[in-house]
């Protein structure tokens, strides 16, 4: 068995063990600066998946820098990963997004359990682990089993934030387009 296969088995086993630790969950609603989000709470960790952090980079926003997400009025369900950015993913399947879309600027948050069903914030400050996925700047995403921050949030008492980001070819091309507008 080659090293890659051993590593893939290790990652899969780790992810399945993490899933096995998750038991019954309840809904938890928190208020953010953009509006309320509804995630899940298993008693030790509150999880919020697929939180939009920018307006979808489509149509007139495709080649622009990201624009902060406008506030929403209804409670936003955040229980599933947002789609990954378009790519040809050559990583093991566990690290590739099952769904891809240009509207891919989402993040996931794992935090030691939010105390009540409707809480604005926890009074205690926590360290934040901000995770940008690997993939050589052209593949991968901040969701799925591989980047589940549940165990780290529980064991280390930190907030884990994992996000999707557009890939370098989009960013470089958009920067070139933006800069070329100013050269004329």
Span 72-93, pLDDT tens digits: 999 999 999 988 887 787 877 7
pTM: 0.73
Return d(Cα 1, Cα 103) in angstroms, integer. Answer: 39
Return d(Cα 66, Cα 104) in angstroms, integer. Answer: 11
Query: In the predicted model, is pLDDT for residue 44 greater than 50?
Result: yes
- Top pLDDT among 90 and 118 is at 90
**Whole-number average pLDDT of the chain:** 75
Domains contained in the chain, CATH given: 3-182 (3.40.50.1820)
Q: Convert the pLDDT of each residue in 90-115 to its tens digit.
A: 877 777 778 888 888 889 999 998 76
- Top pLDDT among 100 and 159 is at 159
> pLDDT grade, residue 134 (50/70/90)?
low
**Helix, strand, coil in percent for the chain, rounding step 5:** 25, 25, 50
Cβ atoms of residues 82 and 104 within 8 Å: yes
Tokens of 3: 């090293």
The span from the first CA to the last CA of the chain, in angstroms, equals 58
Position 8 scores a pLDDT of 36
- With a pLDDT cut of 90, the percent of the chain lying above it is 31
* 29, 34, 54, 129, 182 from 121: Cα distances, Å: 10, 14, 22, 18, 43
Return d(Cα 85, Cα 62) in angstroms, integer. Answer: 12
């Amino acid at each position: 068995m080659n090293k890659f296969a051993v590593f893939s088995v290790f990652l899969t086993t780790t992810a399945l063990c993490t899933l096995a630790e998750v038991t019954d969950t309840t809904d938890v609603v928190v208020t953010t600066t953009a509006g309320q989000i509804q995630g899940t709470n298993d008693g030790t960790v509150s999880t919020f998946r697929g939180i939009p952090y920018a307006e979808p980079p489509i149509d007139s926003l495709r080649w622009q820098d990201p624009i902060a997400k406008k506030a929403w009025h209804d409670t936003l369900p955040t229980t599933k990963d947002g789609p990954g950015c378009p790519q040809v993913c050559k990583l093991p399947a566990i690290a590739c997004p099952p769904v891809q879309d240009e509207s891919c600027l989402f993040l996931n948050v794992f935090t030691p359990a939010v105390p009540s069903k409707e809480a604005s914030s926890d009074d205690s400050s926590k360290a934040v682990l901000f995770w940008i996925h690997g993939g050589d700047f052209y593949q991968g995403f901040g969701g799925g089993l591989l980047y589940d921050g549940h165990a780290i949030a529980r064991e280390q008492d930190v907030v884990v934030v994992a996000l999707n980001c557009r890939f370098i070819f989009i960013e470089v091309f958009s920067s070139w387009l933006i800069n070329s507008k100013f050269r004329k």
